Amino acid sequence: MIKTMNQRIGLILFLLAAVYLILSYQLPSYPYTAVDADVIPKGLGWFLLVLSFFLYFSKAIETDAEKAKRAIPKKEVLVLASVFGMIFVYILFFELIGFVIMTAIFIFFSSWFLGYEKWKTNLAVSILFPVILYCIFVFALGIVLPKGILPI
Amino acid sequence: MDSFQGLLSGFQVALSFEGIMFVLIGVVVGTLIGMMPGLGPISAIAIMIPLTYGMNPAPALVMMAGVYYGAVFGGSTSSILLNAPGISGTVASSFDGYPMAQKGQAGKALAIAAISSFIGGTVSVLLLMLLAPALSSVAISFGPPAYFALMLMGLTAISSLSEGSTTKALISAVTGFMVVTIGIDPQTGTQRFTFGNVNLLDGFDFLIIALGLFAIAEVCMLVLNRKNRSLSDSQKLGSLKLSKADFKEMSGPVSRQSFVGFILGVLPGAGATIASFISYIFEKKLSKNPEEFGKGSIKGLAAPESSNNAATSGAFVPLLSLGIPGSGTTAVMLGAFLVLGVQPGPLLMADRPEIFWGIIASMYIGNVFLLVLNLPLIPYLAKILSIPRPLLISLVITFSLVGVYSISFNVFDLYMLLVFGIIGFLMRIYSFPAPPFILAFILGGMMEQSFRQSMTISNGNFNIFVCSPLPLTLLIIAFLSFSVPGILNWRRNRKNAKV
Amino acid sequence: MKQLGTLLFICFTAFILVACNSNNAVDSNESANNSNSEDNVNSEDGGKFEPTQSIEVVAPGGAGGGWDTTAREVVKTFGETGIIDSNMAVINKEGGGGAIAWAYIHKKDDSPYNLFVSSPPIMFVPLNGQSDYGHEDFTPLSNMIADYAAFAVNADSEYNDLNELFAAMKEDPESVTVIGASAPGSMDHIQFIRIAKAAGVDVKKVKYVSDQDGGALTSLLNGSVDVYSTGVAETVEQVRAGNIKVLGITAEERLEGDVLSDFPTAIEQGIDETFVNWRGFFGPPNMDQAAIEYYEEKFQELSDSEEFAEIRKKYGWNEMYLNHEEYTQFLDEEKEEIQTLLDEVGLGN
């Protein structure tokens, strides 16, 4: 039944629209307004529901170019996932450890991971970039970035 | 001739040594801050306010105005080079600017942006000078019903913002609209789809969506293509020089969109972001080769760039002549005026002509400075692209994260940036266009609010949209722009079928 | 190889995290000990507190807003006058109408180095169910300034004073639309409701629309709406230009100043009600007495200084100094009144 990519996405969007609609119908009502807060969301929810049907039953066949676009080798998916993992760790410790250290670590490791071999340049950039950015933001512009464990 | 004398006194202020100095400082600082991740004109002005304490109001305000349009001017750099818009007004510039840079024409793209910005800025200052007093009535003529019609008009353009499947474009738009419904509803105070999470009460900042869908999603594509040598084209700066043909191609969009941008800038609430999108769509509809848009079209870059700068000057109309701040940025600008003991408003032109006209006159000079300063910088800026790809990827990610963090100082928003990055990437690989999503996000929220304001005012009567000329006209334009291309298509198809 | 890199990266950060956590733990223990021992010493010689670190002042909104301006001006004047020598920095924590900043400060527990600026939304937001913390969860230190609401109509309007307006609203509530910049149940709405109720209007029927994109004044000028509920300062220039009329303000008595003194109060029109848009400073929930006294004294000194008087004049703020005790009492009374009002409109939670 679920053969084409469009059908799969259609199904996901259908579920999304359904959840959104359920939530819309649970919005509390407010008595003193002509058009309440739930009207537009309900409309949007139903619209997406209809669109998901359209997509599901659409006869459009994926072009080769489109197929090629989403054909990503397994190994590359893993690489992407790792990059996202690194960003996640970066955000996780962003305030705790501080902008400068985390950014330096992040730039160094993610550049290296993605295949940047010149480790000396890498090291220099990953230290200088956050330090300079930090100085500009904090000292020149008065915008506080998390200092974390560093004294300044 | 009062205004003429006023203008003369304005030029006296702007052309004095002090005036020129402060315009220069203003535009330099503005451009630099505008190039910083996430820092747009709002932060630039807020940052500079404390520096004006104790200064004479005229040069101080001339400087602050310089900071404002300088920041808009500088904002396009990261959009074009990295697909990472630093401010919301330059998202549309990335649609064609980034593809151009990828094709190895980074230098040219930046030059086109700078020149379009310059012309947009200058034309609109001219309009500001000639029409500011007269236009103040236009600025207040838009009530909620007219805004609703205007936003609807913008939304009908969604189909033209994308190619390929209309269903997919509509799905993108509807989801974008859904995202903007998250948060506290202004009309009722009801929390919508917040799941009791404090971080969602205000909804999502525009930049989180823009940086997620554009910058982070693009980073994913860069990661996938990091070994692809054929892409090293983009590492070439390309020639800075624009050919005669290039100029010819720019001239149409720039001259039209400077006006469009200015008018939209005059309307409170519309601003540079909406102006840049509408100009982009406008040019695409006019173009004989709309299929070039989105692939590095000169017109597609020149239109939003001239428009967003024109809108910036346009925003000074309600501010200077009415004292009405039409946007968050002009509200902070109003604060800067107040700090200096100047109250912008209907009486400013009569009470303090040297300030009113001084700001306007200084904008001519400021725009010239911006062009002269930015053109020689382009080769250096474009060098960013010759950074080895793995390093560039890491820097863009950092850049986007810092940008989002400096808006709200909230780590939750960083996670959301990641989430929208993943959504943007999935949209990319499954061929769902991102521009309709972002357009619906910008226009949808305002459309819903103005619709419901109108309905409350009219006690639930739909007549309010058709019984006054302005909303009615806009609705008719919206209807035509939606239906005419469809009908034309249908007729063309029928003809083809007959043949 | 590359996967190894990621692993290394994660291990490394995890290591740092653990290391710093233990550091932090030691630090906070130490500082806790220090402050305890200091307290002990201090209480012997009269409980004096002197800041030894830099003081962080949170503005719960974005750059350029009211909270941000107040915080920055106060911090700057503290530094310039030397009333507080320690380094002070303003931090913006925007979001949730303040809720995000309040949640952040609440975690600071008894820190004497984390202050924040606040105003009536710290009552409206929790009462509307949008924040778990209200003013009673923090330590009010000192109120600094006051602002008042103004209700304006178009210059062509048929209404010339509040009583005419309210009479029309009593007769046909549907004929009058009020606009403000905040959502229903928040400041611009409630300040109007409060006065309207005192005048005997059925507050449930007040038609209120909110415009948060800066179009409220525009809508008044082009006649889309009838009444604009806002702050006094926002109206002055338009009144001078003859575009709008101010029907009434919510201060106790007339304000001083050029145009300001022409604005009639609600009270002088026979409506016995006021509304103050106060602005002051708070500390974390369990700030100790010595620190409270320190800040009370410093804020009073600032409020009395010539430099701060200049700043008040610059922004058109009114002086309203309240110390810790007065402030706490004032806030409790205000909150009760607002709660009653919200319940009556049917917005209470």
pLDDT band of residue C24 (cuts 50, 70, 90) is very low
pLDDT value for C36 = 41
CB contact under 8 A, C209 and B407: no
How far is CA B319 from each of CA B306, B335, B348, C290, rounded to the nearest angstrom?
Answer: 21, 11, 10, 47
Q: What is the largest CA-CA distance in chain B?
A: 77
Q: What percent of chain B has a predicted confidence (pLDDT) above 90?
A: 28
B43-57, B222-236, C55-69: range with lowest mean pLDDT = B222-236
B109-118, B432-441, B475-484, C38-47: range with lowest mean pLDDT = C38-47
Select the residue from B391, B404, B451 to test the A interface by mutation, using most A Cβ atoms within 10 A: B391
Question: Where in B165-244 does DSSP place strands (E)?
Answer: 183-184, 191-192
Q: Say yes or no: B191 contacts chain C, CB-CB below 8 A.
A: yes
pLDDT value for B2 = 64
- Express each pLDDT in C81-91 by its tens digit: 999 988 888 88
pLDDT band of residue B162 (cuts 50, 70, 90) is low
Report the length, in residues, of chain C.
Answer: 349
For residue B229, the 8-state DSSP code is G
pLDDT band of residue B330 (cuts 50, 70, 90) is confident
Q: Which domains does chain C have, with CATH numbers?
A: 55-146+277-345 (3.40.190.150), 147-269 (3.40.190.10)
Q: Which residues of C277-289 are buried (b: 16+ CB within 10 A; e: fewer)?
A: bbbbbbbbbebbe
Contacts of C68 in chain B (CB under 8 A): 46
pLDDT value for A143 = 76
- Which residue of B220, B227, B414 is in closest CB contact with A91? B414
Q: What angle do CA A9, A13, A15 make, to 5 degrees?
A: 120
Q: Tell me the pLDDT of chain B averaged across its residues.
A: 85
pLDDT value for C236 = 86
- Express each pLDDT in B202-226 by its tens digit: 889 888 998 899 889 989 988 988 7
pLDDT value for B233 = 53
Alpha carbons A111 and C144: distance in angstroms, whole number: 51
Contacts of C12 in chain A (CB under 8 A): 105, 109
Ranges of residues in chain A whose predicted pLDDT is under 70: 1-3
pLDDT value for B292 = 87
Tell me the average pLDDT across B455-484: 86
Q: Is pLDDT of B62 > 80? A: yes
User: Cα distance from B60 to chain A (closest Cα, Å)?
Assistant: 18
pLDDT value for C298 = 94
List CB contacts of C332: < 8 A, sequence separation 6 or more. Answer: C136
pLDDT value for B497 = 65
pLDDT band of residue C198 (cuts 50, 70, 90) is very high
User: Cα distance from C261 to chain A (closest Cα, Å)?
Assistant: 35
Select the residue from B198, B347, B412 to test the C interface by mutation, using most C Cβ atoms within 10 A: B198
Enumerate the H helices of B411-468 as residue ranges.
Answer: 411-429, 434-457
pLDDT band of residue C27 (cuts 50, 70, 90) is very low
pLDDT value for B267 = 82
Q: Is pLDDT of C203 > 50? A: yes
Q: Is pLDDT of C10 > 70? A: no
A62-66, B140-144, B245-249, C282-286: range with lowest mean pLDDT = A62-66
Select the residue from A93, A149, A150, A152 to test the C interface by mutation, using most C Cβ atoms within 10 A: A149
Tell me the average pLDDT across B363-389: 87
- Express each pLDDT in C133-192 by its tens digit: 999 999 999 999 999 999 999 999 999 999 999 999 999 988 999 999 888 888 999 999
Alpha carbons C152 and B393: distance in angstroms, whole number: 54
Encoding tokens for residue C346?
């049917």
Alpha carbons B326 and B318: distance in angstroms, whole number: 7
CB contact under 8 A, A93 and C13: yes
Beta bridge partners of C180: C210
CB contact under 8 A, C13 and A89: yes
**Choice between B493 and C171, residue whose per-residue pLDDT is larger:** C171
For residue C88, the 8-state DSSP code is E
pLDDT value for B238 = 64
**Choice between B496 and B17, residue whose per-residue pLDDT is larger:** B17
A-to-C residue pairs, Cβ atoms closer than 8 angstroms: 56
pLDDT value for C258 = 82
How far is CA C275 from each of CA B194, B203, B258, C326, rounded to the nearest angstrom?
Answer: 31, 30, 46, 17
List CB contacts of B298: < 8 A, sequence separation 6 or more. Answer: B96, B100, B112, B246, B249, B250
- Express each pLDDT in B290-307 by its tens digit: 888 888 999 999 999 999
Instruction: Report ipTM (2 d.p.).
Output: 0.94
Tell me the average pLDDT across B472-478: 87
pLDDT value for C291 = 93
pLDDT value for C23 = 40
Residue C75 near residue C54 (C-beta atoms within 8 A): no
